[in-house]
Amino acid sequence: MHWGRARRITALGIGVLVVATACATKTAELNPPGSAGGADWGRCEGVERVSGTTMECTTIEVPADWNTPDNGETMEIALLRARSDTQTDKIGSLVINPGGPGGSGVDFAAYLAETLPAEILSRFDIVGFDPRGVSRSTPVDCISDSDKDAINGFSPDPVSDTDFQALVALQQSAVGACYSAYGDGLARFASAQAAHDIDAIRTAVGDPQLTYLGFSYGTLLGALYAQQNGGNLRAAVLDGAVDPGQDDVATSEGQAAAFELAFDNFATWCENRGTSCELGADPRKYVMDLLAKADASPPVANGRQATSGWILTAVIAALYDESAWPYLSAGLSEANAGNPDLVFQIADGYVGRSATGEYDNSTDAFTAVTCSDDASVQTVEEIRGFQGQWRAKYPMFGAPLATTLLPCALWQAPRAPYPTGPATGGPTIVVVGTKGDPATPYANTAKLAAQLGTGEVLTWEGEGHTAYPKTPCIADAVNGYLIDLTVPPTGTVCPAR
């Protein structure tokens, strides 16, 4: 099973994923590279068109290593620019990142071009980028589809020493393949490098200052940009905060607690539906029993076994978005009856697997970026200890989140941890937090705002991962800031509905 800190579905949402999983590996052919000093925009291929919007794509070159920018080695960064045909009084570009690490900003920008509030689309070009290592940019591509299937389908909580060591061996194979393919160059995919790329993007779109909207892991990139180039920042909204000062163990344990809370909220929602709840009077027991049943005799669809790993991945994915809860309830009930099709659709969308078994490279990028960023490294033995401790504290999610620490414990390439510190010379940054966020716990919001030194917290009392633009209160506050630079009053709290 592959999921862990700050990984996100992106705001496309689970409902879209359920019907569009087969498109997970779709790629676009972009025009030849332009220069970072002034991009040559051209036609986008392989990106779904949006009515009333002009979309252009390009690829820019950036230094492969910003520590030695003049050595001649480069990477390519793919961009998409979406402009409403009714745009008036343009402010500039709104550069967006959907999270991950491993999420495609090119795909996300195309989606946002028809879903962001009209006030934003009328004033900004929407610019998305695939960060270094991701999809259409210079990619990390090193973990085989068979290894990904094996890891995702493995028991999320291997109790016996034999099973635990089998998982260690699988993860060792995956990270070993990455080192064999890229060697010490893997460190070039670290987040601090990707944040520098954003300033090259700002130059490419011709904006004197950056206006930025980052979700989940995208909040880390935005925070790093504010440290590196705060004077070049016009405005930034960071929604679903990553706490840059938190080590991997604390981050994973915090997620375990947050997912437990999110599941409890899902269970309450289901219970309140009465007889319409497919999971009975005790949804937690229902799911735990289903996981145990799948370990003993997994249901099968089209030759695939819906193991406990796949089922729990579907649970995790659906907890990211409250609108996915009906899909989750139905999918678990159907899996319990022997039909895991919906469970597979939800889980496959989360891990980037197509219906034909081909993966995108989001897992490869997630692993390369996360492990390159790691400042603290645990031993396999320590992780085995966390597994037991967290199982007792967080019965459904603790042990699985402990085992997600394994890839970085086994990582062979050099580390390139990002610095933590305040923003420098920039504006007030709006940090948005959701009370029921399972992936980036709400407690991170104030921590990131404090670290930046220029952060202002905006709270949403809702469920799921990230807030903007889910309710009018949140949308109005963020829109006013992005357009007019009006910072929400200190302590602003938006209701769930």
* Residues annotated as part of the active site: 216, 437, 465
Written as one string, the DSSP assignment of 193-240 is HHHHHHHHHHHHHT-SSEEEEEETHHHHHHHHHHHHHGGGEEEEEEES
Q: How far is CA 368 from CA 209, 273, 477, in A?
A: 30, 42, 35
Structure tokens, 194: 């990707």
Neighbours of 126 (CB within 10 A): 28
| Cβ atoms of 195 and 226 closer than 8 Å | no
- Beta strands (DSSP E) in 131-192 are none
Name the amino acid, one letter, at 117.
P
Q: In which residue are the tokens 């039909």 written? A: 339
| Cβ atoms of 40 and 31 closer than 8 Å | yes
The kind and range of the H/E element at 483 are helix 472-484
Report the alpha-carbon distance of residue 368 to residue 101 in Å, rounded.
9
Q: In which residue are the tokens 């659709």 written? A: 345
Q: If we measure between CA atoms, which residue out of 481, 430, 420, 485 comes closest to residue 454? A: 430
